[in-house]
Amino acid sequence: MFSATPLGILAGGVFTSLLVLAALRDLQSRRIPNLIVATLAVLGIIYSTTTLSAAGALRSVEGIATGLACWLPFYLFGWLGAGDVKLFAAAGAWLGPSKAIEASLIAALLGAVLALVWMVRSRGLRDAVETLGIAATLPGVLSQTSSSANRIRSLPYGVAIAAGALCAGWIPGLLIA
């Protein structure tokens, strides 16, 4: 996605830096600052427009819409925070719609692994297995709460979202050719 031109290399570095920064902030505080998200979105639109002109601007908007469509339902069910959804939509401005779908699939796979590891680490193997068994029939059990006591124990899903976007951006055709 990022060509071997000076602009492409610079853009790839900015894309990577902002996603890594968002993931680190999510790990630290379970919050992804709007300033990071807005910067990622605006620079993604600028990069796409610069490299592809008007078609790039449309591609960015479609990437943002695709990102929202993929992740907004998980926010509405209480399984993700708004910052996670906004982060992915902003990454979609760089990726465009097809890469946003690929990044969503990768992020979902990485997020599932992260969630399992996180559950076992925080609850122990037995409680994690029991919770997953209950969640098979009552998915509301997995809903996050926003209380400060539970925020530190909640899953930093921004890490999986950032990793999925980075994989789709840097590794062409990883899942979708």
* pLDDT digit string, tens, across residues 50-82: 988 889 999 999 999 999 999 999 999 888 899
22 token code pair: 């968002």
Distance, in Å, from the CA atom of 57 to the CA atom of 46, rounded to the nearest integer, reads: 8
* pLDDT, position 152: 47
Instruction: Provide CB contacts within 8 A for 31, sequence distance 6+.
Output: 25, 81, 83
The structure's pTM equals 0.83
* pLDDT digit string, tens, across residues 129-173: 776 677 667 666 565 444 444 544 578 999 999 999 999 999 977
Handedness of CA 87, 89, 90, 96 (dihedral sign): positive
* pLDDT digit string, tens, across residues 84-100: 999 999 999 999 999 99
- Of 21-35, 104-118, 141-155, the one with minimum mean pLDDT is 141-155
Residue 89's φ and ψ, nearest 5 degrees, are -60, -40
- The label of the residue with tokens 């680190």 reads 24
